[in-house]
């Protein structure tokens, strides 16, 4: 809700301006190279982690993969799995997590040239809880002001009673994850603790639309820790709300990966625990 | 009692006890309208020796002169005919009310009172910019909309983050460090249209004074400046009107006597009309779109007796944006002031003011939408001021008083599809002040004073407690402490509330003065805004359990020199300011609808220093000024842990730090019918932050920033021109005066960089392009038809 309000405000403001945006040529100096660690453990999928190095912001190449790391998963402080490098910095394990258990990873890199080396650890994160979807359906919506005509996908979902839950929603269209920063959807239960998006208590969740008959959508709602909730909000803000009159100042996006024994020295990225729930539908007439 | 007598004797208050003197007092008004004129220097020549005093904000003056000597009162003011009245030999107090007639010609000759235009040489005031509505109207403006705040930013030491930014920055202060007063009522958002225009309708404004430093002790509550805007009182002599029709808006002011010389009124209104043209765009969406602002100014004043006068004034303004059933967004100020002036005696003046001020905004869906969602927020003030001015003798003018501001903060309430309300906050800010304007010798004058401010944050309210109160974190909350209504949650009553003020003026010859000032100010409110420029939905929060009051100390030194009997004024000032306990924000702070805002805040310090140079030409066919500022503004946020530091705890430039700022403002009276005006403004680039590298999260790339404000935009510059044609024929003046103003803003279509930012092509995330954002991308012409009758 807060994100929507912010975007609404930014949109209104931009509409009011005589502003113009001109592309310019600019070079940026290379900053400090940092390790990037992203991954998660969930209650229904095997643990994974992706490792790479940061590069110049204007580089047209992908971030270089880190392929020589030792990645170990810990549950409640005890090692439970060692992840194996599969391809291009992607590491996988077999372990599947449980609700309310605490998880973290350690990443150890040998000394190689001028690149950083040593051991980094993620902060322990407890796995939250998440209800499954009640239903998912598609419906035709006629044209109205600011509403385009067509088929829309809706879902009913009930939030678990008890405040302090944080969630992330993701969407696949025909099995392709919509994965740009503007697709980031995170929310907390501050406004809907224990309530239901069932078209009775609250309106149904508008998943997608308008779209064509035959298109398949999969929606996922996953519990996430407070830290990742803040991290993703910041990531979205720092990639989308940039440069304008009312935009926030640039800020470092720091996750939960720190050098072992030194909380001041951080790596980029986030490793988290998550309970994931999915529902799919193909739009029909 | 003996100590009090000794104190008075020491500071010269007793001079009147030992010398035979009489008091000359009265008010200074404008003849054609009856408006009182503040800050006018009144001279009494007693046996050839000049004595002088300035009128106070209500037009009252009082001065003591030797008894039994022939005396003559003189006033000379730019734009008015000279006033002179022989009083004969004074043996008792004399009331002399002065009515100044407007003069069509500028002062040309030199008079016996050589200081006629040299008030800047004799006054202790420094770091003050005073502009009349007439002067402001001559400056070329965006879309022809006379804008007081935009004009102020053309003066040294006053700047904005960039074109179109809301608010203004004075000598390194944040926009929330300016105390903006409209008829003594605090204004919390001075902008229309997100900052493109100010809320002040220049037609309804009498005069504007901006204190950048050396603040008098009767002002407090903000760190960096006081913008004191006074509305017209209304024409007490005849019914008249002023208006204008422009591209953006139209306006109309009516004023006149209800009972001649006893009760008069002023009412002014203004409305923009973008939205009235939307139906012609043949778009169903635009048909239901609203975008406009309006404001209404009202003033009524009554002369109850020769000694009593009351004023009632009000302002109501609002901005409204809406689109069909999608959203509705509005904000606005409402201020109302009741003021009572009483002339207790020729040596005592009393003013009592009661003010109600309300800033509110709503954001959400239209109220009748289904589902509806309405978000309300507001800040309410109840201000009471009791102030006395004592004129004990020719050497002293003493002001003292007591003030209180009671605040109610409504951070937010949501209604509609669900209901939720953030807790209200209550606070009160009592203060005492005393100051003395002391003419120590003919060459040396001083204004010294002391303000003592206190602040009480009171319940009822729940306060969250934390494991570490010095660095409160949302995930380290330990419980809730409940305070009953009226119970003091946190008080600030120590010696830190003492705010000494000192200003010195030393005349070096008739046309030169050396000046110095020191002031400490305290601010108990903070605008919680983490944007480059403030938005209408930013909320104000008071000092309390987790938020400290901010403090500033400012030292300024200056020199003023006049040429051509004050027709040309040269001013140079240097200042150094240190700030303590400024509010800053954690990276990625979530400030919207956040109950326990303390988890998002950081404590910081600041410093600002610079030199300002101003050359003003006040007389002749060509008038205007050249201003130049060389300055630095820096911030320091250096907490105990990484997440409470910015830039690793190193000093970094503030968003509005600009090394060079040059402005040239000129107005040329070509003939009676034609006037031309021009502005040129140049500013160094402002700080921005570039990414050091690129990070990644699950296939999404993002910038990695480690050095806030480590880079700068290119410099900005702009030229504006205006022309005014006033027909002079009798036929044209049959119904009153009229004029046509036209011109252009940003004449050579400079695309000044507001910011430089980066945007990725999300279908190819490694393809990132740098962009320059310019708020005004081209020349913006305007024309306005103005009339008066």
Burial environment of residue B596 by CB neighbours within 10 A (0 to 12, 13 to 18, 19 or more): middle
Q: Measured in Å, how far apart are chain A's first and last C-alpha atoms?
A: 31
Q: Is A62 helix (H, G, I), strand (E, B) or coil?
A: coil
Of B418, B759, B777, the CB nearest to A18: B777
Mutate to test the interface with B, among A243, A255, A262 (most CBs of B within 10 A): A243
Q: Is B541 helix (H, G, I), strand (E, B) or coil?
A: strand
Of A61, A203, A249, the CB nearest to B766: A61
Q: Is B207 helix (H, G, I), strand (E, B) or coil?
A: strand
SS3 for B674-743 is: EEEEEEEEEECCCEECCCCEEEEECCEEEEECCCCCCEECCCEEEEEEEEEECCCCCCCCCCCEEEEEEE
| C-alpha distance from B417 to closest chain A C-alpha (Å) | 8
Please check whether residue B770 lies inside any domain of the structure. Answer: yes
B chain contacts of residue A13, beta-carbon cutoff 8 Å: 194, 535
Indicate whether B190 and B247 sit together in one domain: no
Angle at the Cα of B210 from the Cα atoms of B209 and B216, rounded to 5 degrees: 90
Asked whether B655 and B688 are in contact (CB, 8 A), the reply is no
Radius of gyration from C-alpha coordinates of chain A: 21
Q: Is A47 helix (H, G, I), strand (E, B) or coil?
A: coil
A chain contacts of residue B652, beta-carbon cutoff 8 Å: none
Indicate whether B414 and B478 sit together in one domain: yes
What is the rounded CA–CA span in Å between residue B33 and residue B79? 14
Of B692, B758, B777, the CB nearest to A32: B692
What is the rounded CA–CA span in Å between residue B389 and residue B62? 10
Please check whether residue B120 lies inside any domain of the structure. Answer: no
Write the CA distances from B502 to B178, B396, B426, integer angstroms: 20, 15, 33
pLDDT number for residue B352? 97
Show the tokens assigned to B622. 């060509």
Please check whether residue B123 lies inside any domain of the structure. Answer: no
| C-alpha distance from A182 to closest chain B C-alpha (Å) | 9
What is the rounded CA–CA span in Å between residue B601 and residue A82? 39
**What are the average pLDDT values for consecutive 10-residue runs of chain B, which has 789 residues?**
47 50 88 84 84 85 86 83 86 88 53 51 81 81 84 92 83 94 93 83 90 92 94 89 89 93 92 77 68 93 91 94 77 94 92 96 77 84 96 91 96 80 94 95 93 96 92 88 96 95 92 94 91 76 94 96 87 97 85 84 96 92 95 95 90 94 95 93 93 93 92 93 88 79 91 88 85 86 90
pLDDT number for residue B198? 87
Check CB contact under 8 Å for A5 and B762: no
Write the CA distances from B99 to A124, B60, B73, B76, B236, integer angstroms: 79, 12, 12, 11, 12
Q: Which of B115, B139, B169 is the last residue of a domain?
A: B115
Check CB contact under 8 Å for A179 and B700: yes
Structural domain that includes position B523: 231-788
pTM here?
Answer: 0.86
Of B194, B284, B691, the CB nearest to A57: B691
Asked whether A248 and B531 are in contact (CB, 8 A), the reply is yes
Please name the residue that has the structure tokens 């001041």: A264
Give B497's DSSP letter. Answer: G
What is the rounded CA–CA span in Å between residue B201 and residue B248? 13
Give A11's DSSP letter. Answer: H
Mutate to test the interface with B, among A10, A17, A149 (most CBs of B within 10 A): A17
pLDDT tens for chain A, 285 residues long, are: 444 444 444 444 444 445 688 899 989 988 899 999 999 999 999 999 999 999 999 999 999 999 999 999 999 999 999 999 999 999 999 999 999 999 999 999 999 888 999 999 999 999 999 999 999 999 999 987 678 899 999 999 999 999 889 999 999 999 999 999 999 999 999 888 999 999 999 999 999 999 999 999 999 999 999 999 999 999 999 998 887 767 888 889 999 999 998 888 999 999 999 999 999 999 998
Of A16, A180, A270, the CB nearest to B193: A16
| C-alpha distance from A8 to closest chain B C-alpha (Å) | 9
Please check whether residue B121 lies inside any domain of the structure. Answer: no
Please, what is the average pLDDT of chain A?
A: 90
Q: Which of B177, B201, B230 is the last residue of a domain?
A: B230
Please name the residue that has the structure tokens 């109220």: B367
| C-alpha distance from B156 to closest chain A C-alpha (Å) | 23
Taking alpha carbons only, the member of B73, B63, B87, B77 closest to residue B35 is B77
Write the CA distances from B505 to B31, B248, B440, B514, B749, integer angstroms: 33, 45, 10, 6, 44
Taking alpha carbons only, the member of B775, B778, B773 closest to residue B755 is B773
Indicate whether B315 and B404 sit together in one domain: yes
Indicate whether B223 and B235 sit together in one domain: no
Please name the residue that has the structure tokens 């805002």: B597
B chain contacts of residue A234, beta-carbon cutoff 8 Å: 587-588
Show the tokens assigned to B743. 């011109």
Report the chain A residue with the minimal C-alpha distance to residue B767.
A60
The complex's ipTM? 0.91
- Specify the CATH number for the domain of residue B208: 2.170.130.10
pLDDT number for residue B483? 96
Report the chain B residue with the minimal C-alpha distance to residue A8.
B327
Please check whether residue B122 lies inside any domain of the structure. Answer: no
Mutate to test the interface with A, among B248, B695, B752, B767 (most CBs of A within 10 A): B695
Domain count, chain B: 3
Check CB contact under 8 Å for A246 and B535: yes
Please check whether residue B452 lies inside any domain of the structure. Answer: yes
| C-alpha distance from A78 to closest chain B C-alpha (Å) | 24
Of B162, B193, B697, the CB nearest to A270: B697
B chain contacts of residue A2, beta-carbon cutoff 8 Å: 590, 592-593
Indicate whether B301 and B406 sit together in one domain: yes
Indicate whether B67 and B177 sit together in one domain: no
A chain contacts of residue B771, beta-carbon cutoff 8 Å: 21-24, 243
Of A52, A60, A263, the CB nearest to B642: A263
Asked whether B539 and B409 are in contact (CB, 8 A), the reply is yes
Check CB contact under 8 Å for B766 and A146: no
B chain contacts of residue A5, beta-carbon cutoff 8 Å: 363, 375, 537, 592-593
Q: Is B283 helix (H, G, I), strand (E, B) or coil?
A: coil
Q: Which of B115, B141, B165 is the last residue of a domain?
A: B115
Alpha helices in chain A (DSSP H): 2-15, 226-240
Taking alpha carbons only, the member of B765, B764, B604 closest to residue B697 is B765
- Specify the CATH number for the domain of residue B459: 2.40.170.20
Domain locations along chain A: 133-226+276-282
| C-alpha distance from A23 to closest chain B C-alpha (Å) | 4
Check CB contact under 8 Å for A57 and B758: yes
pLDDT number for residue B182? 94
Check CB contact under 8 Å for B704 and A263: no
């Amino acid at each position: 809700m807060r994100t929507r309000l912010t975007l609404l405000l930014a949109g209104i403001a931009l509409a009011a301006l005589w502003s113009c945006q001109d592309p310019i040529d600019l070079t940026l100096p290379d900053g400090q190279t940092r390790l990037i660690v992203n991954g998660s453990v969930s209650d229904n999928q095997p643990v994974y982690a992706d490792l790479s190095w940061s590069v110049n912001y204007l580089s047209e190449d992908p971030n270089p993969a880190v392929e020589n790391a030792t990645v170990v998963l810990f549950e409640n402080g005890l090692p439970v799995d060692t992840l194996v490098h599969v391809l291009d910095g992607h590491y996988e394990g077999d372990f599947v997590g449980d609700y309310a258990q605490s998880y973290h990873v350690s990443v150890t890199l040998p000394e190689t040239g001028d690149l950083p080396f040593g051991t980094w650890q993620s902060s322990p994160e407890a796995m939250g809880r998440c209800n499954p979807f009640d239903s998912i359906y598609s419906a035709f919506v006629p044209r109205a002001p600011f509403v385009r005509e067509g088929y829309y996908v809706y879902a009913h979902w009930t939030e678990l009673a008890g405040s302090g839950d944080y969630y992330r929603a993701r969407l696949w269209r025909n099995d392709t994850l919509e994965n740009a920063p503007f697709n980031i959807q995170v929310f907390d239960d501050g406004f809907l603790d224990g309530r239901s998006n069932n078209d009775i208590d609250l309106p149904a969740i508008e998943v997608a639309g308008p779209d064509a008959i035959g298109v398949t959508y999969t929606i996922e709602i996953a519990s996430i820790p407070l830290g990742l909730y803040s991290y993703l909000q910041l990531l979205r803000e720092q990639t989308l709300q940039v440069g304008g009159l009312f935009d926030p100042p640039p800020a470092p996006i720091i996750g939960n990966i720190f050098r072992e024994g030194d909380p001041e020295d951080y790596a980029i990225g986030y490793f988290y625990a998550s309970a994931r729930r999915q529902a799919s539908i193909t739009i029909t007439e | 009692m003996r100590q009090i007598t000794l104190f008075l004797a020491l500071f010269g208050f007793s001079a009147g006890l030992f010398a035979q003197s009489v008091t000359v007092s009265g008010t200074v008004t404008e003849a054609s309208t009856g408006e009182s004129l503040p800050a006018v220097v009144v001279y009494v020549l007693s046996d050839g020796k000049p004595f002088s005093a300035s009128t106070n904000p209500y037009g009252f003056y009082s001065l003591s002169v030797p008894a039994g000597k022939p005396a003559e009162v003189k006033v000379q003011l730019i734009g008015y005919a000279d006033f002179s009245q022989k009083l004969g030999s004074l043996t008792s107090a004399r009331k002399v009310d002065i009515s100044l007639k407007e003069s069509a010609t500028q002062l040309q000759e030199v008079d016996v009172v050589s200081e006629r235009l040299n008030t800047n040489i004799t006054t202790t005031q420094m770091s003050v910019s005073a502009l009349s509505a007439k002067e402001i109207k001559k400056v070329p403006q965006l879309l022809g909309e006379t804008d007081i705040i935009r004009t102020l930013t053309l003066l040294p030491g006053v700047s904005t983050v960039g074109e179109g930014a809301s608010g203004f920055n004075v000598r390194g202060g944040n926009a929330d460090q300016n105390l903006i007063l409209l008829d003594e009522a605090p204004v919390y958002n001075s902008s229309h249209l997100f900052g493109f225009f100010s809320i002040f309708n220049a037609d309804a404004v009498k005069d504007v004074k901006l204190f950048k430093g050396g603040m008098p002790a009767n002002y407090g509550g903000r760190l960096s400046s006081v913008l004191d805007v006074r509305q017209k009182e209304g024409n007490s002599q005849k019914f008249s009107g002023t208006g204008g029709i422009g591209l953006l808006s139209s306006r109309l002011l009516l004023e006149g006597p209800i009972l001649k010389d006893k009760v008069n009124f002023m009412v002014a209104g203004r409305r923009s009309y973008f939205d009235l043209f939307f139906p012609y765009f043949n778009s169903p969406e635009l048909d239901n779109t609203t975008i406009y602002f309006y404001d209404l100014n009202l003033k009524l004043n009554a002369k109850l007796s020769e000694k009593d006068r009351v004023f009632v004034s009000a302002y109501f303004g609002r901005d409204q944006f809406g689109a069909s059933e999608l959203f509705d967004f509005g904000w606005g100020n409402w201020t109302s002031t009741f003021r009572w002036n009483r002339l207790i005696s020729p040596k005592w003046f009393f003013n009592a003011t009661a003010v109600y001020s309300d800033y509110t905004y709503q954001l959400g869906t239209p109220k009748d939408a289904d589902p509806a969602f309405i978000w309300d927020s507001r800040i309410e003030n109840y201000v009471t001021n009791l102030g006395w001015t004592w004129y004990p003798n020719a050497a002293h003018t003493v002001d003292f008083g007591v003030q209180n501001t009671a605040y109610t903060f409504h951070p937010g309430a949501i209604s509609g599809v669900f209901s939720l309300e953030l807790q209200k906050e209550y606070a009160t800010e009592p203060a005492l002040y005393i100051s003395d304007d002391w003419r120590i010798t003919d060459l040396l004058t001083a204004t010294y004073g002391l303000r003592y401010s206190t602040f009480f944050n009171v319940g009822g309210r729940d306060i969250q407690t934390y494991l570490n109160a010095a660095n409160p974190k949302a995930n380290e909350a330990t419980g809730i402490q409940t305070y009953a209504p009226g119970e003091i949650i946190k008080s600030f009553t120590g010696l830190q509330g003492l705010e000494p003020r000192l200003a010195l003026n030393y005349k070096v010859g008739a046309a030169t003065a050396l000046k110095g000032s020191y002031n400490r100010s305290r601010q108990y409110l903070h605008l919680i805004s983490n944007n480059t420029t403030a938005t209408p939905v930013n909320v104000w929060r008071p000092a309390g359990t987790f938020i400290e009051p901010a403090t500033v100390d400012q030292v300024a030194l200056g020199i003023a020199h006049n040429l051509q009997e004050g027709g040309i004024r040269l001013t140079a000032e240097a200042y150094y300011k240190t700030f303590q306990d400024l509010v800053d924000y954690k990276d990625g702070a979530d400030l919207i609808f956040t109950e326990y805002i303390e988890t998002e805040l950081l404590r910081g310090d600041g410093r600002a220093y610079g030199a300002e140079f101003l050359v003003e030409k006040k007389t002749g066919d060509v008038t205007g000024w050249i201003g130049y500022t060389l300055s630095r503004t820096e911030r320091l946020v250096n907490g105990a842990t990484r997440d409470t530091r910015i830039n690793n705890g190193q000093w970094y430039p503030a968003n509005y730090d600009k090394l060079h700022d040059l402005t040239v403002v000129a107005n040329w009276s070509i003939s009676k019918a034609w006037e031309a005006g021009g502005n040129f403004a140049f500013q160094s680039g402002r700080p921005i932050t570039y990414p050091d590298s690129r990070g990644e999260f699950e296939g999404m790339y993002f910038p990695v920033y480690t050095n806030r404000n480590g880079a700068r935009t290119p410099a900005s510059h702009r030229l504006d021109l205006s022309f005014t044609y006033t027909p002079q024929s009798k036929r044209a003046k049959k119904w009153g005066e009229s004029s046509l103003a036209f011109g252009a803003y940003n004449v050579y279509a400079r695309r000044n960089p507001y910011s430089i930012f980066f945007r990725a092509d999300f279908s190819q995330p490694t393809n990132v392009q740098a962009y320059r954002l310019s708020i005004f991308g081209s020349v913006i012409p305007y024309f306005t038809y103005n009339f008066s009758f």
